[in-house]
Amino acid sequence: MVLFSLVATHADIDLETVAQLSTGASALATSALAGSPAVAGAIVLSTCNRFEIYGEAPHPDDVESARAALIAQLSGSTGLNEQLVARSFNTHTGPDVTRHLFSVSSGLDSAVVGEREIAGQVRRALITAQHEGTASSGLVRLFQAASKTAKDVGAQTALGARGLSVVSVALDLATELSENPDWSAKKVVVFGTGAYAGATMSLLRERGCTDVSVYSSSGRAAGFVATRGGTALDAETLPAAVAAADVMIGCSGADTRVEASELAAIRANSPQPLIAIDLALTHDFDPAVGSLDGVELLTLESVRLAAPQEQAESLAQASSIVAGAASAFEQEREARSVDSAIVALRRHTMDVLDSEMEKVRARHGCTAAAEEVEFALRRMVKQLLHVPTVRARELASNGQQEDYVAALEALYGITVEPAAAKPAAACPVAHDANAVMPDAGDGARRHTA
């Protein structure tokens, strides 16, 4: 089995293309597994800054077929040209897959370097894939190791200690642009009720903002504010709230958005300026609102450009932890790759032993002497298998497992069949379904309104 990944991020393509790709995320893994034998497992990681597909293929020769199948599925679900989809992704295989995901989970590859929310998004991507039955055992181990690495980075370095995220940087920008930096004096309207909106509400409270209204096109605002505070809005009360607002923040990514003409009409008689913060990947606000008089528009791109750089020492420490963890994971994975060969050798040896013991019992019966012979032979076989097993692990850790397999075939005529990808258990990652896990920072793929 071989791991691979298709990576499209803010570092390589524009956020509009990332948003377009993400619209096909929901059923991609399930469809790919059902449609191509080259895809043995798949996990999709989709956030406001990235769209990544992690897969497992039966053999290195199957990676290109698996990639083609995933791109075709994504093209069909998004309506994007297949060549455009293909150009949007960088393909990683082998150790590059591990190093990249560990860096992502640890916040080293985020638009806001060092943000911690992406680690939660990586965990939830695994949980989703397990519930959908698309996470192979190899991918489960990869994602669990990535989560552990993120925890180690958080515990052992100062990276992310300032609590930076997309939301916090956006609010910092809004503070700088405001005539009055006091958030306790501001009226804010939040669009959306997902985890991203929850993180926004939490940070607004920390800054002393108490006049917060929440709108959801799907009618979830009342339930949302019941546990987080604020005032629920509906279609009738929304216009008046927007007219009086100092700041409005889009976190929903809903199919409907605030158009520039609509906002101009609503705020025609509003004396105060408005800061519109659009944190939804698919845009809650028409980009043209930034051209309206008295309106300042902040987007994910604005946040990316304004994000401060973490200290070089912390980055170096975190990068060292990630590199070490990735190397250790790859060594363990290489060692696992000879498990089938070890099992085949043991089975071959035990079959020979059982055959010889049948001859002993046929000649001597089930006597004490026969039992002693069997005990001695099994002990001898165990000792004989010890060195070949140890050598198998050593060769695998050096990437020489194929040499070991070839030796078994040459010496014993043993053909080692590749292990099939095993489906993972439904949900081995412990989590609290009622806990608030903010999707700030690298963001969520589509924040439900």
Task: List the catalytic residues.
Answer: 48
SS3 labels along the chain: CEEEEEEEECCCCCHHHHHHHHCCCCCHHHHHHHHCCCCCEEEEEECCCEEEEEEEECCHHHHHHHHHHHHHHHHHHHCCCHHHHHHHCEEEECHHHHHHHHHHHCCCCCCCCCCCHHHHHHHHHHHHHHHHCCCEHHHHHHHHHHHHHHHHHHHHCCCCCCCCCHHHHHHHHHHHHCCCCCHHHCEEEEECCCHHHHHHHHHHHHCCCCEEEEECCCCCHHHHHHHHCCEEECCCCHHHHHHHCCEEEECCCCCCCECHHHHHHHCCCCCCCEEEEECCCCCCECHHHHHCCCEEEECHHHHHHHCCCCCHHHHHHHHHHHHHHHHHHHHHHHHHCCHHHHHHHHHHHHHHHHHHHHHHHHHHCCCHHHHHHHHHHHHHHHHHHHHHHHHHHHHHHCCCHHHHHHHHHHHHCCCCCCCCCCECCCCCCCCCCCCCCCCCCCCCCCCCC
Taking alpha carbons only, the member of 420, 432, 284, 430 closest to residue 1 is 420
What is each CA distance from 100 to 24, 97, 124, in whole angstroms?
Answer: 22, 5, 18
Q: In the block, which residue shows the tokens 């996990």?
A: 43
Using CA atoms, how far apart are residues 45 and 102, in angstroms rounded to an integer? 13
* Cβ–Cβ under 8 Å, residues 125 and 101: no
Q: Which residue has the tokens 């895809």?
A: 39
Q: What is the CA radius of gyration of the chain?
A: 28
* Tokens coding 61: 């020769």
Contact 208, 183 (CB under 8 A): yes
Find all residues with CB under 8 Å of 430, minimum gap 6, and list them: none
d(CA 417, CA 235): 62
